[in-house]
Amino acid sequence: MSDYSAELGPSATGPAGAPAGAKERSAGLWADAWRELYHNPVFVVSAIIVLLVISMAAFPSLWTNTDPYRCELQQAFEGPSDGHVFGTTVQGCDMYAHVIYGAQPSIIIAVLVTTIVSLIGTALGVVSGFFGGWTDTIISRINDVFLGLPFILGALVFLALLQSQSIWTVSVVLIVLGWGQITRIMRGSVISAKSQDYVEAARALGASNMSIIWRHIVPNSIAPVIVLATLYLGSFVSAEATLTFLGVGLQIPEISWGITIAEGQLIAVSQELPHLLVFPCAALILTVLSFVLLGDALRDALDPRGR
């Protein structure tokens, strides 16, 4: 893992007693990263796609006026036409409306789970890495247990034990299984940052542990977590669709890319109706790929030596 901190001399302090070089280094890192990202076409394109998908999830009525629950069985399996640009689903619903509205649960789950696991992982990683000792040992051993659980298999088992599946139950299961990697990354970053001279300078000037953590450790250790969180967004979109496809995630009448793909998989092959799979799969793949490319671009911008 790269070192995002500055090497400071014992006299490199600001007017308030905090090491000035640390703040300048942190600000310079993000300013340099933004300049790099602004001129990176991969980042720009993937960011535009992500924003479009988020707008689909937040304001689906801006993209279509068709009611996704308005289905006519006599129109089932129809291919793309003027009336249905993406064709119709196995239930005779408008496929385009299902693709648009299917983004909502995936994005809600991905944002909710990523936000909470990032907060949990960051907090535990800071406590474990900064204080060390028995605190570090206990948190690390618990983390090892959760990291040892197969992610999809564990989610399948937990969701199968629940009596009902919804956005909230899927989110809770993914949160329980998803915080470990961020904790490990943050712990290593904190251990690297706390050994720097600017931390020792702040401690020598009488700064408390909380002050050192909030003003120096977290700002200079958070970059890898931001990169990983961006990648997690795509991973959780994929995880929700996978669990739903396997029958333990969201259930009808919810609208989800995973449900649409699960309904159309057999008919699409047996009756040669590729539109039943092409459009929901394309939306899912494009969304996940955009988040992955966004995370890769952030990683390269924040750690150019790791390219």
Parent domain of 47: 34-306
**Total of domains in the chain:** 1
Q: pLDDT per residue over 169-200, tens digit each?
A: 999 999 999 999 999 999 999 999 888 888 88
Q: Would you say residue 12 has pLDDT above 50?
A: no
| Number of Cβ within a 10 Å radius of residue 196 | 23
In this prediction, residue 26 carries a pLDDT of: 52
- 169 assigned to some structural domain: yes
- 290 assigned to some structural domain: yes
In this prediction, residue 79 carries a pLDDT of: 81
- 2 assigned to some structural domain: no
Q: pLDDT per residue over 43-62, tens digit each?
A: 999 999 999 999 999 999 99
Percent of the chain whose pLDDT exceeds 70: 88
The lowest-confidence range among 92-96, 269-273, 296-300, 302-306 is: 302-306
Region of 73 (left: φ > 0; alpha: ψ -120 to 50; beta: rest) is alpha
- 21 assigned to some structural domain: no
In this prediction, residue 29 carries a pLDDT of: 63
Region of 200 (left: φ > 0; alpha: ψ -120 to 50; beta: rest) is alpha
Q: Does the CA dihedral 172-176-180-183 come out positive or negative? A: positive
Q: pLDDT per residue over 234-249, tens digit each?
A: 999 999 999 999 989 8
Q: What is the b/e burial string over 97-106, where b = at least 16 CB atoms within 10 angstroms of the residue's CB?
A: bbbbbbbbbb
In this prediction, residue 123 carries a pLDDT of: 95
Q: pLDDT per residue over 135-165, tens digit each?
A: 999 999 999 999 998 998 999 999 988 877 8
**Rounded to whole angstroms, how far apart are CA atoms 269 and 272?**
5
pLDDT range class, residue 99, cuts 50, 70, 90: very high
pTM: 0.84
- 22 assigned to some structural domain: no
In this prediction, residue 197 carries a pLDDT of: 86
Triad 109, 274, 68: Cα angle to 5°? 45
Residue 36, token pair as written in the block:
């790099």
**Rounded to whole angstroms, how far apart are CA atoms 196 and 54?**
39
pLDDT range class, residue 7, cuts 50, 70, 90: very low
In this prediction, residue 220 carries a pLDDT of: 86
What average pLDDT does the chain have? Answer: 85
Q: What is the mean pLDDT of residues 289-296?
A: 93
- 233 assigned to some structural domain: yes
- Among residues 302, 292, 291, 296, which one has the least CA distance to residue 103? 291
**Rounded to whole angstroms, how far apart are CA atoms 63 and 185?**
39
Q: What is the mean pLDDT of residues 119-126?
A: 95
- 281 assigned to some structural domain: yes
- 4 assigned to some structural domain: no
Q: Would you say residue 10 has pLDDT above 60?
A: no
Helices (H), 19-94: 20-38, 41-58
**Rounded to whole angstroms, how far apart are CA atoms 164 and 158?**
11
3-class state of residue 192 by DSSP:
helix
Q: What is the b/e burial string over 55-64, where b = at least 16 CB atoms within 10 angstroms of the residue's CB?
A: ebbeebeebb
Q: Does the CA dihedral 10-11-16-21 come out positive or negative? A: negative
| Number of Cβ within a 10 Å radius of residue 14 | 12
**Rounded to whole angstroms, how far apart are CA atoms 212 and 58?**
38
Triad 86, 91, 96: Cα angle to 5°? 20
Q: What is the CATH number of the domain that holds 210?
A: 1.10.3720.10
pLDDT range class, residue 11, cuts 50, 70, 90: very low
Helices (H), 132-256: 133-147, 151-161, 167-178, 180-194, 197-204, 209-212, 218-221, 223-245
